[in-house]
Amino acid sequence: MVQRVFVLLLHLLTLVVIANAGVHETQTQGGRRTLLSNGLGLTPQMGWNSWNHFQCNINETLIKQTADAMVVSGLAALGYKYINIDDCWGEFNRDSQGNLVAKASTFPSGIKGLADYVHSKGLKLGIYSDAGTTTCSTTMPGSLDHEEQDAKTFASWGVDYLKYDNCANTGLNPRERYMKMGRALLNSGRSIFFSLCEWGQDDPATWAGGVGNSWRTTGDIQDKWESMTLIADQNDRWASYAKPGSWNDPDMLEVGNGGMTTEEYRSHFSIWALAKAPLLIGCDIRSMDKLTFKLLSNKEVIAVNQDKLGVQGKKVKKEGDLEVWAGPLTKKRVAIVLWNRGESQANITARWTDIGLGSSTVVDVRDLWEHSTKSAVKYQISALVEPHACKMYTLTRRKA
């Protein structure tokens, strides 16, 4: 009896300690305690980030105009809700109280005023910091050893999203650094989406699901076919770790930045959507052309990415440069991408057995880019695919 009382008291004490720390014990991963979900990211995040197109050439006018364009273009209504400021937004030094400060020359209204503006448009504001002593541009301080203070600062400004980079990290264990910021965000008094940008160096897919809402699985993307395809393959190996609230992140979209062809960008967007990657636009949406808008606004492709089943699609078949990628969706549907990574036109076939369907299954095939349907298809689907292009479909089983 005494032993049972002691065990009960010890359990209650443990709960109190955890609660005071702002961390809740759930299931463990590899023996490590994980954090309760913050309720965010039940589908992959969608929005815009400043880095791919503008890098350090940012200011509050650009951010406001981007928020305006997101709404006026109709992209916001499709789910693109985060307006994320990347590196270079802050002063080189903290203030006398040790707080981060927005750069007066480029963000004279401060981040709080900017957040208020973005929120007035029905959108959410994201910001950037680093799990090291400085950010990657070295123009502003990182958050290492300032996690609690910075998280509370972000919350007081009305920030909704934190991208947390990995430069100047002094060689400290990334799990400990990112876990510390994860706890700080939970304690900040505001729900803030936590995007880990650890570059995949310490296999974050195996541990970050208990820390944040998404984690980079790769190095930085470049606006080149070779970079995009390499990153798609690197991200694919971690497919089984993705789930609602926790997503693999192969970096932001390059669609519309000019370094790839329209078909290459279509492949980029299709694979990212199938792989349940964050759909974070990286171009200047204020001046995007009609083709770019058409790619980014395809409701049927976006629906695959945002499907509530939350299972990452993956590469299931490869014959030289010809690939089949597929993944399950709600209502027992299947999404498929036939991808030609070669230099010449080729026929690609996906048999039902390649994608987990019974060989006798009868389906309706919806072409997500042509917006057309073929009914009562049996055994397989084949298509002639141009070089560096793809075809994307959803398969819906027909009722017997």
Give catalytic status of residue 116 as yes or no.
no
- β-strands 124-130, 161-165 pairing: parallel
Q: Which two tokens stand for residue 224?
A: 């080149």
Give the separation between CA 214 and CA 192, rounded to whole angstroms: 12
Residue spans of alpha helices (H) in the chain: 2-21, 51-54, 60-72, 110-120, 147-157, 174-186, 225-236, 262-274, 290-296, 299-305
Residue among 130, 160, 165, 251 flagged as catalytic: 165
Residue among 116, 202, 203, 220 flagged as catalytic: 220
* Closest of 100, 78, 77 to residue 87, by C-alpha: 100
Give catalytic status of residue 354 as yes or no.
no
Three-class SS string for 336-395?
Answer: EEEEECCCCCEEEEEEHHHCCCCCCCEEEEEECCCCEEEEEEECEEEEEECCCCEEEEEE
Q: Which two tokens stand for residue 60?
A: 């509050």
User: Residue 47: enclosing H or E segment and its boundaries?
Assistant: strand 46-49
Taking the mean position of all CA atoms in its chain, how far away is CA 388? 24
User: Residue 325: enclosing H or E segment and its boundaries?
Assistant: strand 322-328
Give residue 187's identity as a one-letter amino acid code. N
Catalytic residue numbers?
165, 220
